Structure 1
Amino acid sequence: MKKIVFVAAAAGLMSLAACNSHTDTTNNTAAMMADNLEATADNLDAMADNTSNMSDQMMLENQADNAEMAADNIEDNM
């Protein structure tokens, strides 16, 4: 009886693995991640513009650049 349940479960999992319905979800998730990173970069740029400390400004601008590059990498790999 256990072997029959195991074979049935394996067949069900194989049929689910053959289904490729996660492509749209993956693309939507990647697009949302890229949008969030771009928004973060915009916020970091605004924070850099509002600080008077030069080293903080440079640090925030570098973080904004890194967030933009990460967003671009995600968009390129979609």
Structure 2
Amino acid sequence: MKKSILLASLLAAVALTACSKKEEPKVEVPAPVAAAASAVVDAASAAASAVDTAASAVVDAAASAASK
């Protein structure tokens, strides 16, 4: 009986001690990481635009060659 009371007291003490902790502050993403992500998006957009332009040129050239 004494062991169960001791164990219950110990668990209650641990639970109460854990509740008094302050929450850790959230870590914000540094500005260089956000800027790098933006640069990657811009580069991907430019690459997609270049591929679209090249594909249009190939289609136009093929249509021109087929009409001759």
TM-score, normalising length: structure 1: 0.44
Greater share of residues in helix: 1
Rg (Cα) greater in structure: 2
**Structure with the larger RCO, 1 or 2 (CA within 8 Å, 6+ apart):** 1
